[in-house]
Structure formats: structure tokens, C-alpha cells
Structure 1
């Protein structure tokens, strides 16, 4: 998820590992850092004239504190997941804050909620710690200013993330509640995605529509933040709805059920053997090597083009196109397991074999996609012949 090896595009700057988890600073983070300096630098300078141009340095320090807050938030997710044996692939800090990318794991409604809410809980803990520092000691003006910003930032991050809609952490509460009630995680994900869309509409009304209706003009910075955050949340909510819908259709992805009938034939056969087994092109004919493994698929139009007097002398390899390397699957494969396996194979067709390794079907990639998405497709029954 052999191929030609190409250099992997770096998604950011590696910051090292924490608890064995790679942490990456995406290049897009510098956009939000610049935005913070440009927008809040002048505000800090106006409210604190003694700072002078140092106000922009303080604004950049504010961006760094936000970065640290997000990192702690994502680490809380990852370390809580580690308790349940869920492996974390990496943490990425980016324009939108950050995300923790997990490897494959088996979740339950309760564990899903605990892992999700660990992030906001960490931010509330940071906000509480900053409040204690502000309450218990007298700090220099800049330190007090940054600590106060740090406290409010973490409080807002925590509150924002517990809103009940995906892709926010609080959306896992909605997902898990529906999941628990219906027994379907897919239905929970779809419901939480729609809840996320409702949150976007509510935010748009509160921060944009409401001031306009009251005859006020929203501040430019608030307008930009609302549009950016709202756009991000809407895309995340829509992706969750799509993901949940597709997950709900996984039971339809079954190699034996989706494959069209096929038979295997040795690569030493001729066109006359093909016509004997499949005179009308049905079932499909798969060419197998000496070890019995599928190698190619007979191209029915090419067979039809062979003159009758030449069928017994024309090798089957002359009227077939190659399958991708290892492009065959057990007929009992289904669901997520089948999708992940197909994702590692080349080509658009896969032979289906039984327990004895005998070819029983031919599975087309577009048929699998149609089963997952629910969108009807018109498969090309006789794919264009490929160069071997």
C-alpha cells in the first residue's frame, strides 16, 4: 500500500521520537505560525506598548506554545491507546493542529471514547497547571502574558475538541453511543459525521450570521478563522460519513460472491482447448503456470479472431494478457481483509482459487469498488489486452 521504487515525499520535519512514536512537524505548520505572528503581533504590541517589536517574538512564542499544547494532546491519544495495545504509526503536527495515525487495531465503544477524550483531558490538565502558576506566583510581564495565553489556549482546545461531532474527539462519544445501541460502528461513524456537520452550521451561525443579522461586521481575523476551521471540520465530517457508509458495506465484499465464474488451464494449452472449455467466453479462462499458479487471463476477443484452422496450433499464451504478480485470492476472503490484500496487488483483475488452488472465479477491481461504494459500474467484461 514488483513496483518501481520512487523516493518517498517527505511530509515534514522529523522531530524525533517520544515513547517510541515518531513525531513529524508538517511544513503546513509554518503557515499557521506565520498567521499567528501577523495577526496577533500587532494586537500584542498595541495592548503592550512596552514590548515594541518584541511583540512579534511573543506572538511567535504563542505559536510554539500552541504547538506544544497540540503535541501533548496527540501524545495523550497515543499513550492511552498504547495501554490497549493499539500501535501508533506517527504523530503529525500540521496546519490544522495535528493528528495521531494508528496502525490496525480492534476497538470497542468504551475504549474508543477513552482514547479520544484523553486528548482534551490533557489540555484541561495543562490549563489547570497554568492557572496554578498564575495564582501562586508573580511572574515577569512577558512570562505572565504567555502563561495566561497558554492557559486560555488549552482551555479552548479542550472545550472545542469535546464538541460532539466528528472529526472532533467528542464525536467519538456520539459514534460509540450509536455503536453500542445498534451494534454497528459504521452507523455510529455516520451519525457522528452528521453531528459534525451540524456543529459547523452552528459555528457559522454564531460567529458569522448572527453578527451580520445584528448589523455588525465580523472582524477579518475572526472571519478567516471561522471559515478555515469550518471548512476543515466540514471536510472531516464528510470524510467520516463516507468512511462509515463504506464500512457498513464491507459485508458485501466477498471474493466468491463478487467473482465471475472462471476455469483454469495450463499455459501449454492451445486455443482449441479454450474453445472446448468456454466456447462463448463464459466462464472466463485463467492461464496457470507449471506450479498451478494463475499467470494470465484469456482475451475472448483475441480468441474469436483466431481462424478455425489455426486454433489447435495457436498457443493460449498468444491470446491472453498477464495478471499482476501474485494476483490471486482465496475464495473465502472477504471484508476488510480482502480489501487490504487487494491493495497490495498489482493489476485490475485477480484470479479466485479454492482450498486446492483450483481456479473458480475471476474478480475485477471495479466490481469490488462498486460493492464498497454502492455506486453502479459497468465492468469491462473483456479488458484491453496488455503487453506481456
Structure 2
């Protein structure tokens, strides 16, 4: 019977490429478009009775103009990054506006700021262009309404995004300033994340708490928008704090430092030989094949269960569990390079080898995770058999 693999779930509608950058319209954008029509349509209808049902068409056009403004914003990020050779994977336009997704690259404080501020700068330019159009030309009512909306939308997008906290673009200013002062990007990211949380508190205080303290009833639609935006910003700020904290721990992630001592045994060895090498009970035993590459790890429990009379005739492979193909790392591996490599491997154990290919240690996935997260790993660091 042939297995049918389910097609990969698409995150949205591909809109093509602009300057070589793929652009995707996420399905969630239609939620904000519908919200804009339902909330802003009646407002336009009341303020411009002559529009009638057209007010809802204008409201939808408003949503499309917002989409275009966000697209220009993200393209400015992508094109500026392209100058510095930062590869852009794609631009996604979604419920929260949009984001530019980059592939791995090497950043610096100055370049990070320029790429971040390119987005708000583009929106300021669009707002300025709309302002000139309004001040120099006489337009019809609908065109004037949309141009006015376009001007204010871009102005507000630009101002909002330069606020000093992640995930907003202005947060990169804070991150880069702290990064430049301390030499640590991780500390900058954490500081900018806390800046984002402070912004959330300020927004909620201004739009919800302040009217309540003044005895006024906040506008319902404004409260909904405030809650949604604040929730998004809080999650982004918290993610930035977590990312910075994890990045700060990367220097602690070294193959040599996290591995337990281990020695290598040929796959032709017997249980008797394994018992001699592991007599102290503190050294892991890694089995290597005829080509000298690690291929398995001796399970201490299985090793101890072999009767003494059968120890010399039982091969060590009988009491071992297999390592994943290629699950061995140089003892000098560390940081992001080590984590990236391990993330591509299966299994929970990795042999550590020296410059000569000799086994010197055994690294566990638990030890790496504990070093990254700061959480304690279980006390027993000896390898346990895994499901085959």
C-alpha cells in the first residue's frame, strides 16, 4: 500500500515577488479587513451620508491602503537589508500588519538600526506624499477621504513603529545602543524587550485606565483594538526577552564543557572488555565501527544484566543502542554552530571526538537544553537505552 503524504499547509496566498523577495498574504489578513469594514464603514456612513452603501466599499479600500502601507514598510526593511547582503526569505502580510523574515546573517549595531528604521522612514515618505497631494489638488469626496486616510495611516504607522521597544522597529534603537555600550547583543535584546512591555503598560493606561479614572466610558472598538495590539506587543516583547536570555547563555553551550567523560570501544569488543573500561561507573562507553566512526552507546543497565559467565562471549553491540547517523561532534564545537548542527540530527546522544577522531565524551540533548534554558537536567547523566 502506497502511503499518501498530506500536502504542506500554506500560510497564505502567494502574491509573487518584488525585487526578488516573495510576498505572502496570510489568511488572517482578511480578519482585520472585515473588522475595518464593520467598524469604519458605519463611521463613514454617519459622517458622509451621501456615500450610502459606498461607505463600506470605501472602508474596504481603507483596509487595502493599510495593506499597501505595510507592504511598503516591509519592502523598505528587505531592500535595505539587501544592501548589506542579508538574505530575505519572505515578506508576510497578516492580521498584525506584517513581518519580514530573514535567513541567517551577521548583524552589527549600526546596520541593525538602519534596516529597522528604513520601514518607518518609508511610511513618513508616503504620508508626506499624501499631504502634498491633499494640499495641491482638489479631489472628489471619496478620493479625498482615502488620501486623507492614507496620509494619517502612514504617519501613525511610522510614529508607532519608532517607539523604543521590541517587537517595534524602534526597539532596535534600544537594542543597538545597549549592544554598542556593553558589547552584548543579548543584553540589548533583553533591554529592548522590557521597553516593549513598558510601552504596552503605557498604551493600556492611556486608552483604558485614564478614561475610566476620569469617569468616562472608553469607546468599545478602541478598547478592542487596544487589547489586541497590546496582546500582540506583549507576546513579541516577551519573546524578545526570552530570545536575548537564551542568546546570553550560548557561550555556555560547548561540546567539551557539557559532555560526560567517555571512551571508545570497537564494535568487535566483548562485554568483558566493556566492563573493564567502565568499571569506575563514571565513564560512558561509545562503540565505534570498522571505519572508526561512533555508531552506538553502551546501555549501563543492559551491560550489568549480562551474566559473568557470558561476558567474554557476548559482543558489546548486544548491550548498546544505536546513535543516529552522523551523531558525533568535535569537542571544540560551541554556541549557535553547535545548536544548529544538533538540531539537524535525530536521537538524544552525540559522541564527542578530538582532532584525531578519538572519542573523549558523550553529549546528551538534556545537557544542551539545560545549558540554553538554565533549567537543571536530571541528576543521572549516564546514558539510558532509548526506544529502537
Q: Normalising TM by the smaller chain, what interval? A: over 0.9
What is residue 336 of structure 1 aligned with on the other side?
A: 336
Unaligned runs of 5+ in 1: none
Distance in 2 between residues matched to 1:349 and 1:311, nearest whole Å: 25
User: Is residue 112–residue 176 contact of structure 1 (8 Å, CA) maintained in 2?
Assistant: yes
Deviations 1:242-276 (A, max 9, x none): 11111111110100010001111111221111111
Distance in 1 between residues matched to 2:387 and 2:257, nearest whole Å: 30
Distance in 2 between residues matched to 1:14 and 1:380, nearest whole Å: 50
Deviations 1:264-297 (A, max 9, x none): 1111221111111112433101111111111111
What is residue 76 of structure 1 aligned with on the other side?
A: 76
What is residue 356 of structure 1 aligned with on the other side?
A: 356
What is residue 122 of structure 2 aligned with on the other side?
A: 122
Structure 1 residue 382, shift from structure 2 partner: 4.4
TM-score, structure 2 normalization = 0.97
What is residue 56 of structure 1 aligned with on the other side?
A: 56
Deviations 1:39-89 (A, max 9, x none): 111111111111111211111111111011000000000100111111111
Local SS of the residue matching 2:144: helix
Distance in 1 between residues matched to 2:372 and 2:384, nearest whole Å: 24
Structure 1 residue 381, shift from structure 2 partner: 3.1
What is residue 104 of structure 1 aligned with on the other side?
A: 104
What is residue 180 of structure 1 aligned with on the other side?
A: 180
User: Is residue 255–residue 330 contact of structure 2 (8 Å, CA) maintained in 1?
Assistant: yes
TM-score, structure 1 normalization = 0.97
What is residue 167 of structure 1 aligned with on the other side?
A: 167
Range moving further from structure 2, 91-100 or 375-384:
375-384
What is residue 202 of structure 2 aligned with on the other side?
A: 202
* RMSD, matched Cα: 1.4
Q: CA 1:191–1:5 in structure 2 vs 1: closer, same or farther (change >3 Å)? A: farther
Structure 1 residue 226, shift from structure 2 partner: 0.4
Distance in 2 between residues matched to 1:315 and 1:280, nearest whole Å: 20
Deviations 1:98-156 (A, max 9, x none): 11111111111111100000000000000001111111111121111111100000000
Distance in 2 between residues matched to 1:74 and 1:314, nearest whole Å: 64
Structure 1 residue 322, shift from structure 2 partner: 1.2
Q: How does 1:308-347 map onto structure 2 within 5 Å?
A: 308-347=308-347
What is residue 20 of structure 1 aligned with on the other side?
A: 20
Local SS of the residue matching 2:263: strand
How many residues are matched? 385
Local SS of the residue matching 1:91: strand
Local SS of the residue matching 2:93: strand
Structure 1 residue 6, shift from structure 2 partner: 6.3
Distance in 2 between residues matched to 1:259 and 1:6, nearest whole Å: 39
What is residue 224 of structure 1 aligned with on the other side?
A: 224
What is residue 378 of structure 2 aligned with on the other side?
A: 378
Q: CA 1:24–1:380 in structure 2 vs 1: closer, same or farther (change >3 Å)? A: farther
What is residue 29 of structure 1 aligned with on the other side?
A: 29
User: Is residue 74–residue 91 contact of structure 2 (8 Å, CA) maintained in 1?
Assistant: yes
Structure 1 residue 386, shift from structure 2 partner: 3.0
Q: CA 1:78–1:353 in structure 2 vs 1: closer, same or farther (change >3 Å)? A: same
Q: How does 1:272-311 map onto structure 2 within 5 Å?
A: 272-311=272-311
Local SS of the residue matching 2:106: coil
Unaligned runs of 5+ in 2: none
Distance in 1 between residues matched to 2:386 and 2:365, nearest whole Å: 16
